[in-house]
Amino acid sequence: MFENIEMMRMARALTAHAADRHVATARNIANADTPGYRATDLGDFTDAYAGAADLRVTDPRHLAAPDWTPGAARLSDTGAPMSPNGNSVSLEEELVRAADVKRQHDLSLAVFRSGLDLMRSGLGRN
């Protein structure tokens, strides 16, 4: 039922993106002392979600494109300066990124709750 409501699809995609970004941030923190490790981060959610909408099935033999799949946003190098051992992880930047991931996850929960509230109101079940 929720798959047909765009707001719910977007909230689910935003939650998956926040989870994937959290994994990338945790991986960066775990490898903060690994020589030669390069910090990575996911691209912006709006770019990944908008790109998924561009795919269309134009022939019956084509496979239907998913609305948005976790991992659709590509990991990329953060471009942080390298330390003498070749590591580019900055714990301060990773902590800021972790706070941003939490904000993104909280936003996805708020969108989901709003969608549920709208459906309850529509059904007359406040």
Report how many domains make up the chain.
Answer: 1
- Report the range of poorest mean pLDDT among 21-30, 49-58, 80-89, 94-103: 49-58
Bigger pLDDT: 75 vs 42? 42
Band (pLDDT 50/70/90 cuts) for residue 26 is very high
Range of the domain at 110: 2-123
- CB-based burial, 5-33: b 16+ in 10 Å, e otherwise: eeebbbbbbbbbbbebbbebbeebeebee
Q: What is the mean pLDDT of the segment spanning 46-57?
A: 61
Bigger pLDDT: 52 vs 50? 50
Q: What is the mean pLDDT of the segment spanning 101-113?
A: 93
Tell me, yes or no, if the pTM score tops 0.75: no
Res 55 pLDDT > 50: yes
